[in-house]
Amino acid sequence: MDGGQAINVKYRITFSGLNESMFAYTRANRSIMDIIVGVLAIALAFLQFYVSGLNSLGFGLLAIGFFILFRGYVFVASFLLYRRYRDIYKENFEVTIDEEGIHAKTGTLDATRSWEGYQMVIESDKSFIFVYAKMGFFAIPKEALNSQTEKELRGLIRNKIANFRSLVS
């Protein structure tokens, strides 16, 4: 970005885009506790099967373990979030990114947040995820950016945000 020129992006949030962003967020913030609890639930399921044979408790523990390990809860959370804010997600987002921060606007939303308001930015294969609170973030899909704009945005993020994580494969 040269001379303080703003980056302007227009897009619409889709369920698949929201779900991908939430998966990337949880991947970047996954704790060892998630893994331990998932593995423990699976181990308890197999112990239950060994001791009592096939039963509903064992299958329930097995399901919980896989649900945690493979982040099935993210899909459920994405679905609930998308349903809750479906009216906003149907609108076109107009986002302006400049040296001061990020301004997002729809027909019903008009919000500005300075760069200091972001805890981290996560880059996934499909989006840039701007995190402002625990489970509080918004994403800009890369499909809304051309290659030059994507490069400029990445450079601006690196200049403004100390905690930048790339999950690009």
Nearest to 130 by CA among 145, 120, 117, 141: 120
Mean pLDDT value across the chain? 89
User: Given a cut of 80, is residue 3 above it in pLDDT?
Assistant: no
The tally of domains found in the chain comes to 2
Asked whether residue 46 falls in the same domain as residue 125, the answer is no
What torsion do the CA atoms of 19, 7, 149, 116 make, to the nearest 10 degrees?
-60
Q: Which helix (H) or strand (E) holds 132?
A: strand 127-133
Query: Can you name the residues that pair with 127 across neighbouring β-strands?
Result: 141
Q: Tens digit of pLDDT for each residue in 11-49?
A: 999 998 988 998 888 888 777 877 888 888 888 989 888
70 phi, psi to nearest 5 deg:
-100, 15
160: confidence class by pLDDT, cuts 50, 70, 90:
very high
Q: Which domain holds residue 94?
A: 7-29+80-166
Identify the residue whose tokens are 């890369």: 142
Query: Can you name the residues that pair with 128 across neighbouring β-strands?
Result: 123, 140
**Please, what sign has the CA dihedral across residues 125, 126, 127, 129?**
negative
User: Given a cut of 90, is residue 78 above it in pLDDT?
Assistant: no
4: confidence class by pLDDT, cuts 50, 70, 90:
low
Q: Which of 50, 70, 90 finishes a domain?
A: 70
Asked whether residue 16 falls in the same domain as residue 39, the answer is no
Q: Tens digit of pLDDT for each residue in 98-125?
A: 999 999 999 888 999 999 999 999 999 9
pLDDT at residue 157 in the model: 95
User: What is the mean predicted confidence (pLDDT) over 66-78?
Assistant: 81
Asked whether residue 94 falls in the same domain as residue 133, the answer is yes
pLDDT at residue 2 in the model: 52
| Structure token digits, residue 58 | 């064992």
What residues contact residue 132 under an 8 Å CB cut-off, 6+ apart?
A: 113, 117, 118, 119, 138
Asked whether residue 156 falls in the same domain as residue 90, the answer is yes
Q: What is the CATH number of the domain that holds 154?
A: 2.30.29
Q: Structure pTM?
A: 0.76
